[in-house]
Amino acid sequence: MAIDQLAVIILAAGKGKRMQSSMAKVLHPLAGRPIITYVLDTAVKVAGSNIVVVIGNQAEQVREQVSRHVKTQFAYQEIQMGTGHAVHCAMPVLDRRTESVIILCGDVPLIREATLNALARIHQAAEHTVTLLGVDMEDPTGYGRIITDGEGQVERIVEEADATEAEKQISTINSGIYCVHRAFLESALPGLNSDNAQNEIYLTDIISVAVQANEPIGLMVAEHATELLGVNTPEDLQRLESLFSDS
């Protein structure tokens, strides 16, 4: 896919309350560098300069660190109302030539270029409207579960806080990484609501919108769960530090 057809949106506006720190989560150092810089390095390899970083909490500090590292565009999420709202804030900033968008979290530093390129290729070749990246985990606690029908077709994603006990037993979890047709995002995002346990606008709800509209949805299951590890707590960060030390 040509660079001017593929964009990357990086979500970096959250506070990261569970980090128990006054520092924005994506700015915490990992092996001597802010977490988000690893995500930026990978995004540049995939989409060149066609990147939008959504900032909010400690916006100027995040903007400064990102700008030192790569050339990107920025979108501002004044109130952190969830991932769906964050992507909505980024849409007007996208290059007008963009056809598909890879959505990344700014706190997943081990995500590989090869994985994102494979996601984009599958998305384009199968002409999916939405392709999500999942991963099988032995302990899926804390993650959104991917709900499929009897034929393995994606039906929806349910967040841990909203999941039933049966749904919590599902081991295929949502990585929070998607490749989505831009036109679909533009039509679906304004209709999302915050009717859920967290009172947030979930990006995951675009799956239900796509199902209802009979849009083709793809699922790519990553080979390596390690590359999808996110940083939500000090323990998560310590675990990643150990992985860097061992590599």
Locus of tokens 């520092």: 23
- CA distances (Å), 225 to each of 83, 123, 239, 240, in order? 22, 20, 14, 13
Question: CB-based burial of residue 4 (10 Å sphere; 0-12 exposed, 13-18 middle, 19+ buried)?
Answer: middle
User: Quick one: which H or E segment has residue 153?
Assistant: none
Indicate which residue of 18, 112, 121, 156 is catalytic: 18
153: left (phi over 0), alpha (psi -120 to 50) or beta: beta
Judge whether 18 counts as a catalytic residue: yes
Structure tokens at 94: 């996208």
Q: Which long-range contacts (CB under 8 A, 24 or more apart) does 223-226 make?
A: 224/112, 224/115, 225/135, 225/136, 225/137, 226/110
What residues are labeled active site?
A: 18
